Structure 1
Amino acid sequence: MSLFCSPVKKMTRITVDLIRKKSEHNDGILENLEEISLHQLNIQRIEVLGSCCKHLKILYLQNNLIPKIENLRKMKELVYLNLALNNVKLIEDLQSCESLEKLDLTINFIPIKNLEKSIDGLQNNHRLKQLFLSGNPCCEFKGYRKFVVGSLPWLESLDGKKISKSERILASQDLLTIKS
């Protein structure tokens, strides 16, 4: 008889030590760190980054186990956030990320019922130009693209597809119909 033991993946916490280790390119100096990659580490919670990396511009957190966007309020200089391939169900806690231009939430678990609340959570992110939501259950909603384009008129592309002027006008005209 053969017994199979699947390897248990260790959960990783974001700590100052981990950030220092991953920021060797910056000699481990966190105060002026602008970019960090914390992907594929089985991270379940976003923590510590907002307090020790206030000047972070690019944050790679893709392919982890993160269910909730949190603890990013102090990251006012964050330009690009990659949370693709996680367990996110709602876009939240990004209102203070006033420099955010690109947000990647490809292949997460944002359902149709959370789409309106998620997009409302981006209403203060007027610099957001690129949003990636493909692969989420909410994308199956027939009026998904029109709803997002109409709700965020400053977006330039959605799911890697450029938003034309005519698409934007039609989306804003149809927004009330889509919401009901």
Structure 2
Amino acid sequence: MVRLTTDLIAKSIGRKHHNEEHLAQYLRKITHLNLSDKNIDAIGDLSVCKNLRVLYLYDNQISQIQNLDFASNVTHLYLQNNCISCMENLSPLKNLEKLYLGGNCITVVEGLEKTEKLKELHIESQHLPLSEKLLFDPRSLGSLAKSLSVLNISNNNIDELEELSVLENLSYLTAADNQLQHMKDLEVVLSKWTKLRRMDLTGNPICHKPKYRDRIIIMSQTLESLDGKEIKEMERQFLINWNASKAAKKKKGETMTNEHAAYLHFSDFKTHPILPFHYSHSGKEKPNFLALSDMQKVERISLPRTLEKK
């Protein structure tokens, strides 16, 4: 077991022969600390590192986020590929801008209510229990609504995105290798993500839907790249015009269908016409009052001129 302490830092930077006072002065000044792949399983007391801005702790054996009360100045925290199962004790990191947690065992995105400056969250490829998906705490999402611009949630068995629609400043979403399959779900979030520039959904069932790319380009007016392929303005304009033309033809077809139906309804009166008069046994014309009564109910039918003269 290896615990992250100031002694470990001293060894890693080759200052084990300096006295404690010089070491303390150095630790108070450092802004970047890289202790990745050191087999560390716990974060100890680093309170002397008050000016730390960037902390690299990826590729270790850390199971719990702890002892970061000193880290109010940290802007970048790299904790990917550890054994972390719970997002906790992150409240002191009030200036945190980028958080990397990919490749851990996290089941719920939470504990971010105080990290209101967070711009990037990378939480891809969690080692989830069988058939479970990554979940999101609404309180954390609400806190990140105005700040988060980059989100990586790839390979987390996610089957819908609607709850993420509150992230109004999102500009780059990576959600590859999930279980997204409904275009309606995408339509909802894309109408809210008015600043989205790039999106990657490769490896999702939705990618096999008919005209998948065309439909998404029409849904989002701001998207510049989809699944790693650039969206050119000429392509978007063509699809918008094509879709508008298709909609117009459909509307025209519906109008013609309605008019045809109305004509068929009106033609029922002509199938078996009732003459406005009938002949008596003497051969003289007599008004057919039943016919006249029925005809008066149909405004568009005019009386024969022969009957008008009479």
TM-score, normalisation: structure 2: 0.47
Alignment of 1:14-29 (within 5 A): 14-16=87-89, 19=90, 29=92
Which stretch of structure 1 is more off in the superposition, 167-176 or 98-107? 167-176
Give yes or no for contact 1:100–1:127 (8 Å, CA) kept in 2: yes
Identity of aligned residues (%): 28
Whole-Å separation in 1 of the counterparts to 2:100 and 2:197:
22
The DSSP-based 3-state class of the residue aligned with 1:122 is helix
The AA in structure 1 aligned to 2:86 is: R
Gapped regions of structure 1 (runs ≥ 5): 1-9, 21-28
| Residue in 1 that maps onto 2:95 | 32
The DSSP-based 3-state class of the residue aligned with 1:90 is coil
Alignment of 1:83-94 (within 5 A): 83-94=153-164
| Residue in 2 that maps onto 1:81 | 151
Task: State the 1:175 CA deviation.
Answer: 4.5
Whole-Å separation in 1 of the counterparts to 2:147 and 2:214:
29
Whole-Å separation in 2 of the counterparts to 1:175 and 1:43:
42
| Residue in 1 that maps onto 2:173 | 103
Whole-Å separation in 2 of the counterparts to 1:115 and 1:68:
21
Gapped regions of structure 2 (runs ≥ 5): 1-82, 251-310
Structure 1 174/136 Cα, relative in aligned 2: closer, same or farther at 3 Å? farther
Whole-Å separation in 1 of the counterparts to 2:159 and 2:183:
9
Whole-Å separation in 2 of the counterparts to 1:47 and 1:175:
41
Of 156, 164, 170, 2:232 maps to: 164
Whole-Å separation in 2 of the counterparts to 1:68 and 1:171:
35
Task: State the 1:67 CA deviation.
Answer: 3.5
Whole-Å separation in 2 of the counterparts to 1:166 and 1:69:
37
Q: Which runs of 4+ in 1 moved over 3 A?
A: 65-70, 173-178
Task: State the 1:99 CA deviation.
Answer: 1.8
Structure 1 89/80 Cα, relative in aligned 2: closer, same or farther at 3 Å? same
Whole-Å separation in 1 of the counterparts to 2:241 and 2:134:
34
The AA in structure 1 aligned to 2:216 is: V
Residue-by-residue CA offset, 1:51-94 (whole Å, 9 max, x unaligned): 12111001000101444455312211111000011111011223
Give yes or no for contact 2:167–2:193 (8 Å, CA) kept in 1: yes
Whole-Å separation in 1 of the counterparts to 2:215 and 2:234:
14
Q: For the pair shown, which has the larger CA radius of gyration, 1 or 2?
A: 2
Whole-Å separation in 2 of the counterparts to 1:70 and 1:54:
15
Q: State whether structure 2 residue 85 is matched by structure 1 residue 12.
A: yes
TM-score, normalisation: structure 1: 0.78
Residue-by-residue CA offset, 1:19-78 (whole Å, 9 max, x unaligned): 47xxxxxxxx411110111111121111122x1211100100010144445531221111
Give yes or no for contact 1:69–1:92 (8 Å, CA) kept in 2: no
> For this pair of structures, how many residues does the alignment match?
157
Across the aligned residues of Structure 1 and Structure 2, the Cα RMSD in angstroms comes to: 2.3
The structure where helix makes up a greater share of residues is: 2
